[in-house]
Amino acid sequence: MADGQTRAVLTELRTAAHRFVDVLDASGGDASDVAAAGAADFRTRAHLHVDLIFALFLDGIDPTAEALAPIVEAARASVRHGRTLEDVLDIRLGAIEYVWNQLVATADEPTRRVLFDHALPLARYHAIVSTRIAVACADFTAAPRWEQLELRHDLADALLTGRSTAGMQADPRIRLAEDYVVVVARAADPAPRTVGNLRLRFPHPPTALVRADAGGWTALIPVQRGVAATTVIAELERAVLPVRDTLPRCWLGVCASPVPGMPEAFVEARTLAELGRSLGSGEIVCRRERFLLEYAIATDAQTRARLAQVFDALDDQPVLTETFDAYVRNNYELNPTADALHIHRNTVTYRLSRITDLTGYDPQNPTEAMTLAAARTARLL
């Protein structure tokens, strides 16, 4: 048990730790190792971690099974939904390390000494929680269904990376097709709970190999002999249509390929999914033929950088950028653009002329308008 002076320091540190948890954000650079720090449920458990850690620091009280139940159950649910136990433990440890490092970085020297004096109890806490999570997940990971799921994950990984699948095909539960449609999903909200719920509710074909990844998932849909890949993609679009309004917003990059070309197809599908997300496409299923220009820009870094510079002059002109976006969405027509923005047609004309003055490209000239549209795409990417 800590003495009075140490207790006062630890109490202040606990308050500071809760403040750091409140600003955890997965999109921020300082928290880049915390894969889901912005999720509300993750933040709630992070606050619980802080309380339990400082209870150990202040009073020497190990966390009880009852106190750890929300943390353990959340970890078990993540494993059940396809995330590896290693990932689950890494995410939790990453959040604890982030808060600890913030405390150390902002503390004065005497406070740092108090923190370092409690490094061993922190390690004890980590060991206790990791053990309880591992034990809780053991019954699920030992089940036959989990073993089959792992085999399917391994097969998906082998196909996507071009590794040999010879040994896996010896398992009678695994049937390898000659061709697949690679589907890469990206959610507008990358929080694990959103992505996990979306993946579970999504109408995957039962024969698909589904693999979780950062910000979404990858599914490999086998193409049966005698069936065109375009038919499989069309069936996917029909399956999505009835449920799209009930799901969190997401985009699916798709690319068909025989097994030997799967790594390249995976790159293309992933690029298309990111294009759909970055551009806010109204279509869920993103095919290359729909994004020919955008795909060319996305895959040529030098061209993308040069085009993006065209819009540098509009960095501090959000109204002009909004007007140009509306102008493109309305097929480069003045009256529909004015109606969409609830302004007069002459105002649209004036703003377009200002874009010409600042960028050197005229949005009302068809050729130059194409350049500006490509530049806008490059900037969004």
Architecture of domain 150-297: 2-Layer Sandwich (3.30)
- pLDDT for the residue 32: 34
Cα 92 to Cα 222: distance, rounded to the nearest angstrom:
35
Q: Which CATH architecture has domain 301-380?
A: Orthogonal Bundle (1.10)
Q: In the prediction, which pLDDT does 286 show?
A: 92
Torsion (CA) 92, 95, 97, 103 in degrees, nearest 10: -150
Residue where the block lists tokens 């591992």: 134
For residues 313 and 311, what is the distance between their CA atoms, to the nearest angstrom?
A: 5
* pLDDT, tens digit only, all 381 positions of the chain: 557 888 899 999 999 999 988 876 543 333 333 333 334 577 788 889 999 999 999 888 899 988 898 888 888 877 776 677 777 888 778 888 888 989 999 999 999 999 999 999 999 999 999 999 888 887 555 545 545 666 777 788 888 888 876 665 555 556 788 899 999 999 888 776 677 767 777 777 778 888 877 778 888 999 988 899 999 999 988 888 887 777 778 899 999 999 899 999 999 999 999 889 888 888 889 999 888 888 888 888 888 888 888 888 888 899 999 998 899 889 899 999 999 999 999 999 999 999 999 999 999 998 898 889 888 888 887
The residue to which tokens 């003045």 are assigned = 334
Distance CA 187, CA 195 (A): 7
Q: Can you say whether the dihedral through the CA atoms of 145, 143, 200, 88 is positive or negative?
A: negative
pTM: 0.57
Q: In angstroms, what CA-CA distances link 118 with 18, 19, 92, 93, 114? A: 18, 20, 19, 17, 7
Is 4-141 a CATH 1.20.120 domain? no
Determine the pLDDT at residue 40. 58
The one-character DSSP state at 39 is -
In the chain, how many H helices and how many E strands? 16, 5
Kindly tell me the burial class for residue 376, based on how many C-beta atoms sit within 10 Å of its own C-beta (0-12, 13-18, 19 or more): buried
Cα–Cα distance between 215 and 187 in angstroms, integer? Answer: 6
Q: Determine the pLDDT at residue 211.
A: 82
Query: For the chain, which residues make up each domain, given as ranges?
Result: 4-141, 150-297, 301-380
